[in-house]
Structure 1
Amino acid sequence: MSARDQLLVVIDPVARRTDGESVRIAKDVLGAGAAVRICLPEGPEEFAKALVRRGARRPVVIGDDRALLRAVTVLHRERGLGSCAVSVVPVGTSHVLSRSLGVPSGAVAAARAVLEGVERRLDLLVDDSDGVVLGNLRIPPVTSPAAGGTAVDGRPWLRTCQSFVRTLARPARVASAPGPAPARLRVEADGVVVVDLDQPVEGVSVRPGADGLAEVEVRPTSVGAAAGPLRARGRTITVSGADFRYRADAVVGGPVRTRTWSVRTGAWGLTLPR
Structure 2
Amino acid sequence: MATSDQLLVVIDPVARRTDGESVRIAKDVLGAGAATKVCLPEEPAEFARAVERRGSRRLVVVGDDRTLLRTVALLHHRRELAGCALGVVPVGGTLALARSLGVPCGAVAAARAVLDGTERRLDLLVDESDGVVLGALRIPPLNGVPEILPGGPAGRGGGHGGPGGPAGARGVWGAAAGGPGNHPWLRTCQTLVRTLATRPPRVTVPQHGGPASARLRVEVDGRTLVDLDQPVTTVSVTPGHAGAAEVEVRPVSLDGEVNTLRALGGRVTVSGPDFRYRADAVVTGPVRTRTWTVREGAWGLTLPR
Question: Which aligned runs of 4 or more in structure 1 are off by greater than 6 angstroms?
Answer: none
Is the deviation greater in 7-16 or in 38-47?
A: 38-47
Give the distance between the partners of 1:124 and 1:206, measured in 2 at CA.
Answer: 11
Q: 1:142 to 1:50 in 2, by over 3 A?
A: closer
Give the distance between the partners of 1:38 and 1:224, measured in 2 at CA.
Answer: 59
Aligned to 1:117: 117
Among 274, 283, 297, the alignment partner of 1:243 is: 274
Query: Alpha-carbon deviations, 1:109-129, whole Å to 9, x = none?
Result: 000000011100011110111
Aligned to 2:138: 138
Aligned to 1:207: 238
Indicate whether 1:11 and 2:11 are aligned: yes
Aligned to 2:70: 70
Whether the aligned pair in 2 keeps the contact of 1:142 and 1:182 (CA below 8 Å) is: no
Aligned to 1:219: 250
Helix, strand or coil at the partner of 1:70: helix
The Cα RMSD (Å) is 1.8
Give the distance between the partners of 2:33 and 2:98, measured in 1 at CA.
Answer: 22
Helix, strand or coil at the partner of 1:216: strand
TM, length-normalised to structure 1: 0.84
Helix, strand or coil at the partner of 1:5: strand
Aligned to 1:100: 100
Q: 1:261 to 1:222 in 2, by over 3 A?
A: same
Aligned to 1:160: none
Give the distance between the partners of 1:257 and 1:45, measured in 2 at CA.
Answer: 32
Shift of 1:52: 1.4
Shift of 1:142: 10
Shift of 1:224: 2.6
Aligned to 1:234: 265
- What residue ranges of structure 2 are gaps of 5+ in the alignment? 144-208
1:30 partner amino acid: L
Shift of 1:43: 2.6
Q: Report how many aligned residue pairs link the two structures.
A: 240
Shift of 1:227: 2.6
- What residue ranges of structure 1 are gaps of 5+ in the alignment? 144-177
Helix, strand or coil at the partner of 1:93: coil
Aligned to 1:186: 217
TM, length-normalised to structure 2: 0.76
Give the distance between the partners of 2:66 and 2:210, measured in 1 at CA.
Answer: 29
Whether the aligned pair in 2 keeps the contact of 1:142 and 1:181 (CA below 8 Å) is: no
Q: 1:244 to 1:2 in 2, by over 3 A?
A: closer
Aligned to 2:43: 43
Give the distance between the partners of 1:216 and 1:241, measured in 2 at CA.
Answer: 17
Give the distance between the partners of 2:51 and 2:37, measured in 1 at CA.
Answer: 12
> Residues 159-198 of structure 1 correspond to what in structure 2 (within 5 A)?
181-198=212-229
Whether the aligned pair in 1 keeps the contact of 2:136 and 2:236 (CA below 8 Å) is: yes
Indicate whether 1:34 and 2:38 are aligned: no
Q: 1:228 to 1:42 in 2, by over 3 A?
A: same
Shift of 1:78: 0.5
2:300 partner amino acid: G
Shift of 1:180: 6.7
Query: Alpha-carbon deviations, 1:79-122, whole Å to 9, x = none?
Result: 11111111100100111111111111200000000001110001
Give the distance between the partners of 2:298 and 2:38, measured in 1 at CA.
Answer: 26
Shift of 1:225: 2.7
* Larger-Rg structure: 1
Whether the aligned pair in 1 keeps the contact of 2:139 and 2:277 (CA below 8 Å) is: yes
Q: 1:98 to 1:141 in 2, by over 3 A?
A: closer
Helix, strand or coil at the partner of 1:83: coil
Give the distance between the partners of 2:142 and 2:26, measured in 1 at CA.
Answer: 41
Shift of 1:3: 2.1
Whether the aligned pair in 2 keeps the contact of 1:75 and 1:81 (CA below 8 Å) is: yes
Query: Alpha-carbon deviations, 1:7-63, whole Å to 9, x = none?
Result: 111111111111000000000000111111111111322222211121111110100
Whether the aligned pair in 1 keeps the contact of 2:124 and 2:134 (CA below 8 Å) is: yes
Give the distance between the partners of 1:32 and 1:142, measured in 2 at CA.
Answer: 41
Helix, strand or coil at the partner of 1:241: strand
Whether the aligned pair in 2 keeps the contact of 1:142 and 1:180 (CA below 8 Å) is: no
Give the distance between the partners of 1:91 and 1:250, measured in 2 at CA.
Answer: 15
Whether the aligned pair in 2 keeps the contact of 1:9 and 1:60 (CA below 8 Å) is: yes
